[in-house]
């Protein structure tokens, strides 16, 4: 009985083995195996985004940061700002202006009383001497002495402008070192910046200066120092601002000084220009459903665009942007956008992209 059971078990195992063998050798199994092998050998499909080469104007710029301040004196104009000190020691008697008030050159801002004279008395004495002088009853020297005494008790605006600061109040004691007020001509402002000497070799007066903002400001360099600051290795540069610049004294601003302009150059989106394993700059040029690496020479860079040159490249050529880095040569691609979907548009001015 035991021997019979063993024989029956052996027969069952043999039948199962034959069934499995038949399944493995069936045409369907062979077909599945061949499909898997074909899938493994099929080229991979890479999803990318693309952009287009364009003709545009690009600028080479030196970037700096500066502070808005009153314009300095020139050969035909005084400085546009002045800090006014007390002409003599004394006590503030009267204040004729408030901060933010417009004043004309020669206006009295503050009057003092000194230990030797009061402003009211000095004014009365000037009027008396003027009357006497008109009647030929006093000398010119007496009149001039009276006017000088009054001037020593008055803080007078040396230019037309706006009172930007008052540092005293009536009853406050001052001396000749006390800055009583500050006046600025807000229509005559400038911005000064310090540029590292290594980056300043192409700076010249007359070079275009662009200041991003709302609204953007465009001006030119009015001064470039011939000397390097030994303390920090920089060169001072200054640009006069338009009267309607909208900038304020003390404001910190970015400047882009245009040192060269390249017009009608072929440019590629910055993210499309990558470096290959050999260190060359390349772009992935799109041909149908395939992207092929193409070596390029690069130039100016501005606002997300790079000047390029290379054999056979032309405006409108489609290049891989997102997905370009590390993309093998002659790779099949699937584009998820089109060159017309780009969000970056051609800008001929640095300001338009800010």
Specify whether 148 is located in the same domain as 219: no
Count of domains forming the chain: 3
Is the pLDDT at 141 greater than 60, yes or no?
yes
Specify whether 50 is located in the same domain as 87: no
What average pLDDT does this structure show over 24-50? 58
CA distances from 132 to 32, 121, 139, 140, 148 (A): 125, 16, 8, 10, 17
The predicted pLDDT at position 297 comes to: 94
Is the pLDDT at 129 greater than 70, yes or no?
yes
Is the pLDDT at 346 greater than 50, yes or no?
no
* pLDDT tens-digit series, residues 258-305: 999 999 999 999 999 999 888 899 999 998 888 888 999 999 998 899
Specify whether 163 is located in the same domain as 216: no
Residue 34: band (very low, low, confident or very high) from pLDDT cuts 50, 70, 90: low
Q: How many residues does the chain have?
A: 354
Is the pLDDT at 321 greater than 50, yes or no?
yes
Residues in a beta bridge with 219: 209
What average pLDDT does this structure show over 138-150? 90
Contact 86, 112 (CB under 8 A): yes
What average pLDDT does this structure show over 331-341? 72
Specify whether 271 is located in the same domain as 290: yes
Whether 1 maps to a domain, the answer reads no
- Percent helix, strand, coil in the chain, to 5, is 20, 40, 40
Specify whether 125 is located in the same domain as 251: no
Q: Of the candidates 279, 281, 283, which has an alpha carbon nearest to the alpha carbon of residue 329?
A: 283
Specify whether 65 is located in the same domain as 200: yes
Higher pLDDT, 296 or 350: 296
Specify whether 268 is located in the same domain as 307: yes
Specify whether 122 is located in the same domain as 174: yes
The predicted pLDDT at position 13 comes to: 54
Higher pLDDT, 9 or 151: 151
For 78, other C-beta atoms within 10 Å of its C-beta total 15
Distance CA 184, CA 161 (A): 5
- Residue 353 per-residue DSSP state: G
Is the pLDDT at 158 greater than 80, yes or no?
yes
Is the pLDDT at 309 greater than 80, yes or no?
yes
Contact 228, 235 (CB under 8 A): yes
Specify whether 118 is located in the same domain as 250: no
- Full domain range(s) for residue 253: 61-70+187-261
Is the pLDDT at 40 greater than 60, yes or no?
no
Higher pLDDT, 201 or 352: 201
Is the pLDDT at 90 greater than 90, yes or no?
yes
Whether 351 maps to a domain, the answer reads no
Q: What is the CATH number of the domain that holds 121?
A: 2.40.50.100
- If DSSP codes are grouped into helix, strand and coil, which group holds residue 66? strand
pTM score over 0.85: no
Higher pLDDT, 38 or 79: 79
The predicted pLDDT at position 335 comes to: 86
Q: What is the CATH number of the domain that holds 323?
A: 2.40.420.20
């Amino acid at each position: 009985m035991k021997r019979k059971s063993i024989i029956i078990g052996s027969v069952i195992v043999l039948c199962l083995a034959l069934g499995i063998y038949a399944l493995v050798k069936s045409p369907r199994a062979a077909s599945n195996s061949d499909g898997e092998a074909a899938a493994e050998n099929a080229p991979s499909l890479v999803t990318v985004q693309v952009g287009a080469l364009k003709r545009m104007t690009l600028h080479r710029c030196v970037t700096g940061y500066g502070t808005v301040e009153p314009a300095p004196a020139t050969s035909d104009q005084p400085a546009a700002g002045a800090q006014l000190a007390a002409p003599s020691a004394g006590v503030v008697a009267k204040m004729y202006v408030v901060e933010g008030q417009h004043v004309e050159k020669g206006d009295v801002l503050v009057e003092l009383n000194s230990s030797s004279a009061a402003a009211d008395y000095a004014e009365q004495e000037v009027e008396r001497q003027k009357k006497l002088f008109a009647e030929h009853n006093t000398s010119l020297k007496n009149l001039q002495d009276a006017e000088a005494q009054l001037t020593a008790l008055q803080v007078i605006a040396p230019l037309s402008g706006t009172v930007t600061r008052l540092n005293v109040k009536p009853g406050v004691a001052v001396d000749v070192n006390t800055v009583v007020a500050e006046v600025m001509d807000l229509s005559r402002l400038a911005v000064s910046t310090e540029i590292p000497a290594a980056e300043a070799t192409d700076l010249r007066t007359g070079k275009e200066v662009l200041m991003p903002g709302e609204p953007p400001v465009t001006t030119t360099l009015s001064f470039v120092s011939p000397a390097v600051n030994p303390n920090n290795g920089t060169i001072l540069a200054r640009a006069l601002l338009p009267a309607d610049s909208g900038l304020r004294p003390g404001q910190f601003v970015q400047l882009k000084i245009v040192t060269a302009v390249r017009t009608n150059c072929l440019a590629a989106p910055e993210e499309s220009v990558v470096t290959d394993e050999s260190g060359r700059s390349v772009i992935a040029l799109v041909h149908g459903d395939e992207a092929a690496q193409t070596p390029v020479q690069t130039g100016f860079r501005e606002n997300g665009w790079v000047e390029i040159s290379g054999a056979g490249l032309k405006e409108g050529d489609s290049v891989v942007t997102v997905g370009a880095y590390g993309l093998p040569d002659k790779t099949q691609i699937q584009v998820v956008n089109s060159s017309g979907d780009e969000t970056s548009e051609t800008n001929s001015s640095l300001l338009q992209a800010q």
